[in-house]
Amino acid sequence: MNAIHHPSPVGPLKLVSEEGALVACEFTNGEKLIGKPQADAIIDQTRRELDAFFAGRLKKFTLKLNPRGTEFQLAVWKALQTIPFGKTWSYGELAKRIGKPKAMRAVGAANGQNRIAIIIPCHRVIGADGSLTGFGGGLERKQFLLALEQGEAPLL
Residues labelled catalytic: 122
The DSSP letter of residue 5 is E
Give the bridge partners for 149, in sequence order: none
Tell me the three state secondary structure of residue 70: coil
Residues 60-87 as b/e (b if ≥16 CB within 10 A, e otherwise) read: ebebebebeeeeebebbbebbeebeeee
d(CA 20, CA 39): 11
